């Protein structure tokens, strides 16, 4: 199984919390799309894996014209071997998804929408500097359900000034639409963002971690009661609707990244494209190097397996550790895990270690404690 991630580096405006690569200038948009088409051809050479998922991320992929999305999709079909049940996801913002746009997309090869609602609360949306309001969000999800069965919405919890009650109201609205997938993330302060500056200046006050944890546990309970499966820390799906893209990423399957700042992974190395639209365009046009590559050591691969595995329902297999990394790595992991099993943040069953409900919220921190920084074992 492999996937293709296509990064669309354009947005109408900058969300205060976002540190992904994007531009609000569309001066060279058509040329950048052409460069991405060329990159698809370049990376298809000597690539024999069957592509099972295409994911348009960003940025704001719905910012593109449907014709541009179709061109990129067709380039995948023309240059790669594709599965018959290929999942093709488009991230979209509510303000872009007009009825006209939804009709166009429903006639394309896009078969899954991931809508960046983030919140159904206008106050939250203003703090984030989102381009849509709650009315847009509700209208968009309601209309999207008429055209797409495979539909996901994004939500953010832990918003400044939010309460357990306001978060539950958000969940009430989200669950009323009965979408088959919900992705929900805690608000994080990323470096070099407007939100970081506002927090530093005291203009925005973050929630206490205890309240954020309560919002997280409320979400787990409410979504579980509605038969959503929490297959990855931030991903919830009805049975049969796990995102193939998300699953492939967290199970460390191969994927190709296309476009400015896009990352690729082949199991033993990672590469990342230039995070500058004009420099990316120039390098592609002049047939120059447009990405950097890092070969992962055995320890790097172990750390990545621990980081990704603890976030998922599949957990960390002790047998897999032994077979793929050796007894020393397995022993290190088992020894370091003991205190978290004792504190009931981790659980061992059938030779697989997974996070508990309390452990899920701390999964990334626990993983860092289980990493090998320097191999002295």
Contact 357, 220 (CB under 8 A): yes
CA distances to 113, 119, 132, 169 from 126, in Å: 24, 10, 9, 17
At residue 155, the pLDDT reads 98
User: How far is residue 62's CA from residue 69's CA, in Å, rounded to a whole number?
Assistant: 9
At residue 377, the pLDDT reads 53
Q: Domains in the chain and their CATH numbers? A: 2-250 (3.20.20.70), 298-370 (1.10.10.920)
What is the mean pLDDT of each successive set of 10 residues along the chain, which is 377 residues long? 93 89 88 98 94 96 96 98 97 96 98 98 96 97 98 98 97 98 96 92 94 96 98 97 95 95 95 96 97 96 96 97 96 97 97 95 94 73
Contact 241, 150 (CB under 8 A): yes
Cα 374 versus chain centre, distance: 29
At residue 19, the pLDDT reads 86
At residue 24, the pLDDT reads 85
User: How far is residue 377's CA from residue 375's CA, in Å, rounded to a whole number?
Assistant: 6
At residue 27, the pLDDT reads 87
Is the bond preceding 59 in cis, omega lying within 30 degrees of 0?
A: yes
At residue 375, the pLDDT reads 57
CA distances to 159, 169, 225 from 236, in Å: 20, 18, 12
User: How far is residue 356's CA from residue 340's CA, in Å, rounded to a whole number?
Assistant: 10
Residue owning tokens 């609602």: 117
């Amino acid at each position: 199984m492999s996937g293709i991630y296509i990064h669309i580096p354009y947005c109408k405006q900058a969300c205060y919390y976002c540190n992904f690569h994007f531009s609000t200038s569309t001066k060279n948009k058509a040329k950048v799309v052409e460069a991405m088409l060329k990159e698809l051809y370049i990376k298809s050479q000597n690539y024999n894996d069957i592509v099972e998922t295409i994911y348009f991320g960003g940025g704001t992929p719905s910012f593109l014209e449907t014709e541009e999305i179709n061109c990129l999709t067709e380039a995948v079909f023309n240059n790669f071997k594709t599965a018959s049940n290929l999942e093709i996801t488009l991230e979209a913002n509510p303000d872009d998804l007009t009825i006209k746009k939804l009709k166009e997309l429903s006639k394309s090869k896009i078969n899954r929408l991931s809508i960046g609602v983030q919140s159904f609360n206008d106050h939250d949306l203003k703090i984030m500097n989102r381009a849509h309001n709650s009315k847009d969000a509700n209208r968009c999800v309601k209309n999207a359900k008429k055209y797409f069965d495979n539909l996901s919405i994004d939500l953010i919890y832990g918003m400044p000034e939010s309460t357990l009650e306001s978060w539950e109201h958000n969940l009430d609205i989200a669950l009323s639409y009965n979408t088959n997938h919900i992705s929900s993330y805690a608000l994080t302060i990323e470096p070099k963002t407007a939100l970081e500056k506002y927090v530093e200046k005291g203009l925005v006050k973050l929630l206490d971690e205890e309240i954020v944890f309560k919002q997280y546990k409320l979400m787990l309970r409410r979504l579980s009661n509605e038969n959503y499966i929490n297959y990855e820390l931030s991903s919830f799906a009805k049975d049969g609707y796990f995102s193939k893209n998300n699953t492939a990423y967290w199970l460390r399957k191969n994927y190709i990244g296309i476009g400015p700042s896009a990352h690729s992974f082949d199991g033993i190395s990672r590469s990342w494209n230039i995070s500058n639209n004009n420099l990316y365009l120039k390098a592609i046009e002049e047939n120059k190097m447009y990405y950097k590559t890092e070969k992962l050591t055995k320890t790097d691969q172990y750390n990545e397996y621990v980081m990704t595995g603890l976030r998922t329902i599949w957990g960390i297999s002790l047998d897999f550790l032994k077979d793929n990394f050796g007894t020393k790595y397995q022993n290190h992991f088992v020894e370091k895990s003991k205190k978290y099993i004792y504190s009931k943040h981790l659980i061992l069953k059938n030779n697989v270690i997974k996070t508990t409900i309390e452990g899920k919220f701390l999964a990334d921190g626990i993983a860092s404690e289980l990493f090998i920084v320097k191999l002295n074992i």
